[in-house]
Structure 1
Amino acid sequence: MTNQFSPYLQVIWHDPVTGRPGYLVIDRLVRGVSSGGLRMRDGCTLTEVAGLAAGMTAKEALNYDPASRYIPLGGAKGGISCDPRSPDAVDVLRRYLIAMRPYIERFWTMGEDLGLRQETIDSVLSALGMESSIQAVYPLLDDEVKARQRLADAFAVTVDGVGLDSLVGGCGVAEAALVGIERLGLTEPTAFVQGFGSMGGATARFLAQAGVPVVGIADAAGVVANPAGLDVERLLLTRDAFGMIDRSELRPSDVELPLSSWLSVPASVLIPAAVSYAIDDASLVQAQLIVEAANMPVTAAAEPALVDRGVLIIPDVVANSATNSWWWWTLFGDVSASADEAFAKVRSSMRTLVARVLDRAGTVSPRAAAAELAAEATEVIAARFGPATV
């Protein structure tokens, strides 16, 4: 989406100990505040973070509802070029957060993203004496004490052993996929999920519960597959903190394949839920529906060929926006600290949003349609709250 105010701010940081770079891009401020996660991966770039920040502006705008208590913020993103499995990753994170402290305290609300878990971020911030990763939004709340307690209560909710905060995003992706399945008229859909962290794991769970067999999952070690469907619950509850599947939990009928084969497993629905730029060769894609659980997984070079073949792509700014929205719905009081209420809100909102995007996508792609809708909403937000100024 083109944004005349973009980017509002770019910060390039270098770790004084390891030399690893980190970035913060504030694409837009609304009411003086922006929203977007912090990712950690080896090779993370400023261009990547800037694209993600612009995507956050679109996600916030697309979920704008004038009748809601939650008023969307601007978009932002942080990134650190470091392997999260590195022994010094937490120390690098700590030094990054020290450097970014003025922005976190006033302008940038932030949560987990690729390579980082919320509990890790919260632990480091607490050790630094900081209130929260979202403290910049507190001045906008009607009752900060009640709002913070509501969010804390929601984070304490678990469903079948998994935290609610780790499930809402995947619930949204799965619902987007179900709408896409209905639009395409797929009668016996099967799904492949690339990435088994918070987003990918939850998406697999909700698809399986909806009766869509998950026939393959890829993690960093390779692919596990079963044409009859994997036991998602068993794998979900035994994975490690990095989304790695415990191969000892596989059934005799499950097979292990090399990671390079992840696009060769037959499935009508493809859920890329790991790294950006994962799908760069359209000829390898067999699926009829791609739902972008990850940020920017389909490259600009691959997308036109996929669209020309009739592959339906539900873009990331739509499909994976539920995590961000749930935080704010809960904090501002649109939903309570209830799993049933959260899932109902995510499902209804996602169905409405996907339908709007696909209805608009006549002569343009769903991504272009989402950009048009986001631009229109951004204009409305700007008219109500003013330009992107502090």
Structure 2
Amino acid sequence: MSTLTYLDASPRPDPLGDAQAQLSAAVGILGYDDGLAGMLAAPRRQLTVSIPLRRDDGSVEVLTGHRVQHNLSRGPAKGGLRFSPDVTLDEVRALAMWMTWKCALLDVPYGGAKGGVRIDPDRYSHGELERVTRRYTTEISPFIGPERDIPAPDVGTDEQTMAWVMDTYSHQSGHTVLGVATGKPLALGGSLGRATATSRGVVHVALAALLDVGIEPAEAAAAVEGFGKVGRYTARFLAEAGVRVLGVSDAHGAVAAAGGLDISALELHVDAHGTVAGFPGGEAIARTDVLELEVDLLVPAAVEGTINAQNANRIHAMVIVEGANGPTSEQADDILRSRGVVVVPDILANAGGVIVSYFEWVQANQAYWWSADDVESRLKERMLQAWNGVQQKARSHGVSLRTAATVMAVERVANAHLLRGLYP
């Protein structure tokens, strides 16, 4: 089961259950034995650390952080670091597994990892967040590095967080190590195009998926759930491509407009007020209603499990492109597939971030930085190449895009493991 039901009868996300179910389906198709299947399912390393924090008022609070390295067969681990009150070890395990498949599918020479600290960053000062980041980095520092595990921004973290990670690790190493983290500021070895890379990749695939089902982007309508690092730029790039964005949401509210939202004006509103709520250019609606708007394209770009068994039948979009990791539960996936809805899975759709993180890592190791046009053209090429490969695999085997993508990724990881052999 991929969805837990609580006393209030509302489904709760179970990302690890969904990730394991997806892997199990791929293993069944590939015919792997129990030993290989177990290796693919089990995290290589997982670390839980205590993070004592001295608050600005002098009190001390102890937070909990995790770092999971799921698989290292194809290269050093790669994955984001999130600050969220909902962080759990199982969530981090699932996200690390999805990163393994994402890197393999896009043929990026990394394994998958993920990290998280159970904290609500909105309730802490800038200085407190710096102290949390530096202590967390210190605790996990024996396990990270340019050749071991490279963190990146995720929910609740940003380029400043990565600058603190890099600086803390560099102090412990005795020299500057730019390649220990990606998603850094440009002045500290970041890459042009990294901040918007995930959104760029989402839109490249979304436009291709619309055309594939016979919908011209200039005639399409879309809704975007989430208006953070991924959703905001996705909405912008969709609008620039001629797609009418009818509704958006964030953690505090949602707005919609039948004729399409003015995304540029909405961004100014968010910059001024910190939320899409109250935007005068749209009508206030319930956050969950964004998922059910009458649109051609839906981009869930918030958190896991927002598309579930309870709302899957009410979704009107015929194309769903997963900007978030694990936004669609296993049960919802089955419902959407039975209805003929095209779901472009997260390990393909939102892989633009890890692609440009790889570009940043390469540039840092060479101390040579590429132009924005170089980054964008290489990103687009990688995304569309992966889209075409997954699409062909799905059609030739009569399976969903998610199953095709997972099978392709799992096979690449398994082959790397088998070629390396079992040690000792």
- Shorter-chain TM-score: what band? 0.7 to 0.9
Instruction: Report the number of matched residues.
Output: 363
* Aligned residue runs from structure 1 range 19-30, under 5 A: 19-30=62-73
Structure 2 match to 1:135:
180
Q: Does 1:317 align with 2:347?
A: yes
Of the structure 1 ranges 233-242 and 304-313, higher mean CA displacement relative to structure 2 is found in 233-242
Local SS of the residue matching 1:368: helix
Residue type of the alignment partner of 2:198: G
| 1:381 CA displacement | 3.9
Q: Does 1:378 align with 2:424?
A: no
Structure 1 match to 2:47:
11
Contact 1:29–1:388, Cα closer than 8 Å, also in 2: no
d(CA) in 2 for partners of 1:227, 1:104: 48
Of the structure 1 ranges 261-270 and 168-177, higher mean CA displacement relative to structure 2 is found in 261-270
d(CA) in 2 for partners of 1:134, 1:46: 26
Of 140, 143, 164, which aligns to 1:123?
A: 164
Local SS of the residue matching 2:116: strand
Local SS of the residue matching 1:20: strand
d(CA) in 1 for partners of 2:43, 2:325: 18
d(CA) in 1 for partners of 2:82, 2:423: 25
Of 74, 79, 97, which aligns to 2:116?
A: 79
C-alpha change, 1:389 and 1:314, in structure 2 (3 Å) is: farther
d(CA) in 2 for partners of 1:215, 1:179: 20
Local SS of the residue matching 1:290: strand
C-alpha change, 1:40 and 1:328, in structure 2 (3 Å) is: same
d(CA) in 2 for partners of 1:219, 1:96: 28
C-alpha change, 1:89 and 1:388, in structure 2 (3 Å) is: farther
d(CA) in 2 for partners of 1:23, 1:388: 27
* Aligned residue runs from structure 1 range 61-76, under 5 A: 61-64=104-107, 72-76=109-113
| 1:389 CA displacement | 7.6
| 1:323 CA displacement | 1.1
Local SS of the residue matching 2:48: strand
Residue type of the alignment partner of 2:380: R
d(CA) in 2 for partners of 1:136, 1:213: 36
Structure 1 alignment gaps of length 5 or more: 65-70, 138-147, 158-163
C-alpha change, 1:30 and 1:336, in structure 2 (3 Å) is: farther
Structure 2 match to 1:96:
136
Residue type of the alignment partner of 1:75: G
Residue type of the alignment partner of 1:63: L
| 1:336 CA displacement | 5.2
Q: Does 1:181 align with 2:210?
A: yes
d(CA) in 2 for partners of 1:117, 1:356: 32
Contact 2:254–2:276, Cα closer than 8 Å, also in 1: no
C-alpha change, 1:221 and 1:246, in structure 2 (3 Å) is: closer
Look at both structures and tell me which one has the larger radius of gyration over its CA atoms.
2
| 1:339 CA displacement | 2.0
| 1:375 CA displacement | 2.0
d(CA) in 2 for partners of 1:287, 1:32: 38
Structure 2 match to 1:145:
none
d(CA) in 1 for partners of 2:254, 2:306: 15
Structure 1 match to 2:225:
194
Local SS of the residue matching 1:48: helix
Residues 336-362 of structure 1, C-alpha deviations (whole Å, 9 max, x = no match): 522222222222221121121122113
Structure 2 alignment gaps of length 5 or more: 1-22, 28-36, 53-59
Contact 1:24–1:78, Cα closer than 8 Å, also in 2: yes
Structure 1 match to 2:89:
46
Local SS of the residue matching 1:239: helix
Root-mean-square deviation (CA, aligned residues, Å) is 3.0
Structure 2 match to 1:142:
none
d(CA) in 2 for partners of 1:389, 1:207: 48
| 1:53 CA displacement | 0.6
Residue type of the alignment partner of 1:348: E
Local SS of the residue matching 2:377: helix
C-alpha change, 1:305 and 1:340, in structure 2 (3 Å) is: same
C-alpha change, 1:35 and 1:216, in structure 2 (3 Å) is: same
| 1:192 CA displacement | 0.6
Residues 244-275 of structure 1, C-alpha deviations (whole Å, 9 max, x = no match): 33746x43xx2122324222322211101111
| 1:205 CA displacement | 1.4
d(CA) in 2 for partners of 1:31, 1:185: 37
Q: Does 1:343 align with 2:396?
A: no
Residues 203-251 of structure 1, C-alpha deviations (whole Å, 9 max, x = no match): 1111111111111110111111112111212333553499733746x43
Local SS of the residue matching 1:22: strand
Contact 1:33–1:136, Cα closer than 8 Å, also in 2: no
Residue type of the alignment partner of 1:327: S
Of the structure 1 ranges 298-307 and 113-122, higher mean CA displacement relative to structure 2 is found in 113-122
